[in-house]
């Protein structure tokens, strides 16, 4: 996986610029909407809560529109933002990481962390199963001791920890 073989364009610079400009415009619009909802005017005693965030949202939206127009003017020979091979490498880390984050919400932090570390050691590192299992379990036992026992900082726990009486 260290070499990138597929050099076809997966996404052009123009498409990436338009997508980011649209995304930041949407964020700015959310800030404007919510700031207006909580009060974005100047009151008798000074600015309301949403006054300054409202104008930050306006600036974000204006900058996004400028970027959007600039992206529309990019010539057709603008090159690739990312190639297919590069995108596959990024997604090979992004997808499992996203699944990990979702699992933490359901299973707590320890079980998904064991799976996550073991998966990456085995899949990307090509380590033996017993090494991946030893390191992933050992790492989580270490963090359990450090956070839960020594620092008394509770981390999110799930069903497995409840069954073991660790919650």
The predicted pLDDT at position 141 comes to 95
DSSP calls for 16-55: HHHHHHHHHHHHHHHHHHHHHHH--SEETTEE-TTHHHHH
Query: Which residue ranges of the chain lie beneath pLDDT 50?
Result: 1-2
Backbone phi, then psi, for 54, in 5-degree steps?
-60, -45
pLDDT at 78: 72
- Listed in order, strand segments (DSSP E) in 42-122 are 42-43, 46-47, 80-83
pLDDT value of position 158 = 84
Question: How many other β-carbons are positioned within 10 Å of the β-carbon of residue 93?
Answer: 11
Q: What is the pLDDT of residue 161?
A: 79
Say if residues 52 and 62 touch (Cβ distance below 8 Å).
no
pLDDT of 76: 63
Residue 112 is predicted with a pLDDT of: 95
Q: Compute the chain's Rg from CA coordinates.
A: 24
């Amino acid at each position: 996986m260290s070499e990138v073989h597929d050099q076809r364009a997966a996404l052009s610079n123009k498409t990436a610029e338009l997508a980011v400009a649209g995304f930041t415009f949407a964020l700015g619009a959310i800030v404007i909407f919510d700031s207006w909802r909580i009060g974005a005017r100047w009151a008798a005693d000074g600015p309301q809560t949403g006054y300054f965030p409202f104008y930050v949202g306006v600036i974000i939206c204006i900058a996004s529109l400028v970027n959007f127009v600039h992206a529309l003017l990019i010539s057709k020979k603008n090159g690739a933002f990312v190639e297919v091979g590069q995108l596959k490498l990024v997604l090979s880390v992004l997808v499992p990481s996203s699944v990990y984050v979702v699992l933490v919400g359901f299973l707590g932090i320890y079980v998904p962390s064991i799976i996550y570390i073991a998966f990456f050691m085995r899949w990307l590192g090509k380590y033996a199963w017993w090494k991946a299992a030893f390191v992933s379990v050992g790492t989580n036992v270490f963090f359990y001791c450090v956070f839960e026992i020594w620092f008394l900082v509770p981390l999110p726990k799930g069903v497995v920890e409840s069954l073991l009486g660790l919650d």
